Amino acid sequence: MKKLFLKLLIIEVVFIFLFSYISTFADDLDNSTDLLDVSKELNALNAVETSSSGTSTLNLNTRSCIVLDRLSKKILYGKNEYNKVKMASTTKIMTATIIIENCNLEETVEVSKKAANTGGSRLGLKTGDKITIKDLLYGLMLRSGNDAAVALAEVCAGSIVDFSNLMNKKANELGLVNTHFESPHGLDSDGHYTTAYELALLSDYALKNKTFLQIVGTSNFTISINGYPKSLTNTNELLGNFNGVYGIKTGFTNGANRCLVTACKRNDMDIICVVLGCDTKKFRTSDSIKLIEYTFSNFEYVNIQEKIDTELENWKKENENYFFINKGISSDLIIKYSELDTPIIPINKNEISSIDVNIYIDSILESPIHINDVIGKIEVTSNNNSILSCNILASNTIKKKNFLDYNMDFFKYYSNILNSFSIL
């Protein structure tokens, strides 16, 4: 009896271990529930959230999130966006980027035993399978295959370690100082992390590549393994089911929980939404929808450059002969402003009417003045909060007077006096 109990206990422990192992590494392979729930979720959220002018009613489940405007790189919403967190299969955004930039996608490769034995979400590769790098990429980004990730890493760099080095080198090039990779698939490890902010920046970079954009924007695709077709469905539940969504990647591990990076464009506004650490797929979906709807309902693009141009021209008209250039050969200074990084930026609709262009510039300046010397500042604010600032620059050169210049001034001065007496 004791032996039977012991056997049953061992079987139960093994079962729990296996279940835990699978759930730890499983990705989002079944979208059916989410796809069916999207329309219901959207209708409910639209009724509650789209009229909101603030962020306090969003009630997000996500541990860390961000909405980033792709045009200006301005953060439109953030929650713990600079915290280091695990990223699960959103890692594959970098994996695909490295492969696309360094490999011949039409090359056919053979799958190694190591790749075929990789756990978690799988494309279903077997040792010795023949498949193109392009099809591996589709298996990586649509099916979220960890086996595809390892196969690609080995083809590109020879090993997971060397491929991770390439990933980290790229992260450094992009200025992602709080991101570090230890694998091409994103299975949990202490040294594998990012932030919502940096993941959004990485996604923005990756989406600029047409091949990457095409892959992550594909809902269904048929690849070929050993000459046999295999149909894939994208794990991104919002792609094709939510207005404006055109990519990019899902993710899940026990350490990272449910993750989703979404690219969405409506009219001219193009955003990236990142949610990391949601408790369930439903929360991941609903949080993404909330953030996207909040953004498009509350922000619109404003041409700040046009506002600056108008205000600066008005200032010039109202301040003729404004400058006195001490010891300068003249005071006829022409001004301009430095080029704006983002002339068009998203502004909260409630703040647009409060936009002010403030011009700060001294009237008395010291000579000499050279072209592009900084002589003042323009600051654009809304409700007394800074939106952006730029420098006021000199457009021409004002030389400092020398000995001959002073003599000429002296001669002109007394010539004018003599002329005035002659008139009398």
Based on the residue annotation, tell me whether 144 is a catalytic residue of this protein: yes
The helix/strand count (H/E) of the chain reads as 12, 17
Distance CA 265, CA 359 (A): 34
**The two three-digit tokens of residue 199, written as one number:** 């993941």
How long, in residues, is the chain?
424
DSSP category for residue 62? -
**Distance from C-alpha of 73 to C-alpha of 308, rounded to nearest angstrom:** 20
Q: Is 197 left (phi over 0), alpha (psi -120 to 50) or beta?
A: alpha
CA angle at residue 79 from 87 to 387, to 5 degrees?
120
Q: Residue 278's closest CA among 94, 74, 80, 96?
A: 80
Give residue 281's region: left, alpha or beta (phi > 0; psi -120 to 50).
Answer: alpha
- Amino acid sitting at position 177: V
CA angle 23, 61, 57 (to 5 degrees): 165
- The active-site residue, picked from 64, 72, 112, 144, is 144
Q: Which of 79, 86, 92, 134 is catalytic?
A: 92
Q: How far is CA 195 from the centre of its chain?
A: 11
Here the tokens at position 135 are 């099809």
114 is catalytic: no
The catalytic residue among 64, 72, 89, 203 is 89
Distance CA 335, CA 325 (A): 13
| Nearest Cα to Cα of residue 177 among 78, 62, 66, 82 | 82
| Residue ranges with strand state E in 237-312 | 245-253, 257-266, 269-278, 299-303
The residues carrying an active-site annotation are 89, 92, 144
